[in-house]
Structure 1
Amino acid sequence: MDRRETAALLAYIGRLDPRTIRTDPGEARDQLAQWHELLDDVPMATPHGWDARVAARQHIRTSPYQILPADLVRPWDGYRRNRLSRHSDPTPSVDPDDQAAWTAELAGTRRAVAAGIAEPAQARAITSGRDGTDPRLEAMLGEVGSCIPPAARAALAPYRPARAAREAAIAQGRPDALSVRCEWCKAQPGEPCRRRRVGPDDGVRGTAPRATPHPGRLDLAVAQQAQQPAMA
């Protein structure tokens, strides 16, 4: 608060607690300078719930001790902590590749929330819809075609052979074998086929994912794809 606001606050406090009134001009000037120095970063009021006069009135009502600047600084610090604890950083609107702008927007939003200028951003619940998607993000996704850039997808292909084969098949218009259940290894839709490791006693000792689906699963996917146009 500025010097005029500090003087107005002292006048308000003096009406509620005459012990704080200084009748000597020199003492009053020193008191104003002291309070202004200690409350320089504490606002008089904010648009969202903070008012120094309310905090002063609450102290005078509940404490037998004469109010000090610290009795306003503590509630202000608690107000800031409470707001930041309820704040979930929203996704900045700037280009995520611009690290400086991204960080600056995050920091600016936090400062506004802590200062009571903006309301805390609550984390949205996860839903099945896409109504809340940022139109700008939708446009970027439309340009890229996927949330994984093509270069990153190609780099990951050697480590995800089953998924890479599936994506290649779909891109070429061939049936997606992983869209159906495998009758051989019982792999569920979306899961890669697995090969069994059999021990000397003919018992299954374990399984390992296959890079390619079992032939029977591919045949089942081809049959299902052939039935879809007929059903349509």
Structure 2
Amino acid sequence: MDRREIAALLAYIGRLDPRLARTSERDAGEQLAQWHELLDDVPMATPHGWDVRVAARQHIRTSPYQILPADVARPWESYRRDRLARHSDPTPSVDPDDQAAWTAELVGIRRAVAAGIAQPAQARAITTGRDGVNPRLEARLREIGSCIPPAARAALASYRPARAAREAAVAHGLPDALSVRCEWCLAQPGESCRRRRMGPDGGARGTAPCATHPSRLDLAAAQQADQVQQPAVA
């Protein structure tokens, strides 16, 4: 705030709290110089929520003590910290190889946000929907049938033999046991079967992965047969 704005603020505060009013010209000049020295970097108002008169009025309403410059500076610093805490640096528009320009743009944006000139930039949330998926990507996925290319899948086969065997069985038309719930160990679709670990007292102490239970294979085969028969009946 410049001296004219400080004078307007002191006049406003004097109307709300006469204890701050100065009757002599000398006292008023000293008070103006003191407040300007301490609050010259605090704006009168910003486009996004800060108004020094609101901070002064709030202090006069809630505190029995005479207002001081610090009672205006503290809310302003809290306002700056809150805005910077909600700000996520957007990617600068300049060439990333130009380090000086890159840093200057980041600093300029942060200063504008802290000063209340610009709104904080929020980080974009990760969504689970399929809105906005690139049509070319969808067409490619339909073409290859998976987001993992066949060459990469073949290279990973030796590192995950159980999954590779399952994929090979499905490719040969055999039922996928993991597509159904296991009625024996209650493993959900997509989860491997598990074997219960029993303690000396006969109580369960935990579970460990094991081979697919035969009953689950039978259930998957029955489900596959039903799916094949339904189109034929239709």
TM bucket (normalised to shorter chain) is 0.5 to 0.7
In 1, Cα distance between equivalents of 2:185 and 2:22 = 84
- Code of the residue aligned with 1:191 in structure 2: it is E
Match of 1:118 in 2: 119
Q: Which is higher, the Rg of structure 1 or of structure 2?
A: 2
User: Taking structure 1 as the reference length, what is the TM-score of the superposition?
Assistant: 0.55
Q: How many residues align?
A: 210
Equivalent residue of 1:24, what SS? helix
Q: CA deviation at 1:53?
A: 0.9
Structure 1 residues 82 and 149, CA gap change in structure 2 (3 angstroms) = farther
Structure 1 residues 199 and 230, CA gap change in structure 2 (3 angstroms) = same
Structure 1 residues 228 and 51, CA gap change in structure 2 (3 angstroms) = same
Q: After superposition, what is the alpha-carbon deviation per residue over 1:81-138, rounded to whole angstroms, capped at 9, x for unaligned?
A: 66678x5x779679xxx9x98xx98x968983794853796999x99x738x6x4xx4
Q: After superposition, what is the alpha-carbon deviation per residue over 1:3-51, rounded to whole angstroms, capped at 9, x for unaligned?
A: 54334323433444362466139x62x5444323322443322344432
Aligned counterparts, 1:6-155, within 5 A: 6-16=6-16, 17=18, 19-20=21-22, 23-24=25-26, 28=29, 31-63=31-63, 65-79=65-79, 87=86, 112=113, 115=116, 117-118=118-119, 130=129, 135=132, 138-139=133-134, 142=137
Contact 1:181 1:188 in 2 (8 A): yes
Contact 1:196 1:208 in 2 (8 A): yes
- For structure 2, the residue ranges without an aligned partner over 5 or more in a row are 142-146
User: Taking structure 2 as the reference length, what is the TM-score of the superposition?
Assistant: 0.55
In 2, Cα distance between equivalents of 1:5 and 1:50 = 15
- Code of the residue aligned with 2:119 in structure 1: it is A
- For structure 1, the residue ranges without an aligned partner over 5 or more in a row are none
Equivalent residue of 2:216, what SS? helix
In 1, Cα distance between equivalents of 2:2 and 2:156 = 58
Structure 1 residues 229 and 48, CA gap change in structure 2 (3 angstroms) = farther
User: Identity of counterpart residues, as a percentage?
Assistant: 61
Match of 2:182 in 1: 182
In 2, Cα distance between equivalents of 1:82 and 1:180 = 51
Equivalent residue of 2:208, what SS? strand
Q: After superposition, what is the alpha-carbon deviation per residue over 1:31-86, rounded to whole angstroms, capped at 9, x for unaligned?
A: 4443233224433223444321122233345555442111112333444566678x
- Code of the residue aligned with 2:74 in structure 1: it is R
In 2, Cα distance between equivalents of 1:34 and 1:40 = 10
Q: CA deviation at 1:171?
A: 8.1
Contact 1:84 1:120 in 2 (8 A): no
Over the residues paired in the alignment, what is the CA RMSD in angstroms? Answer: 5.6
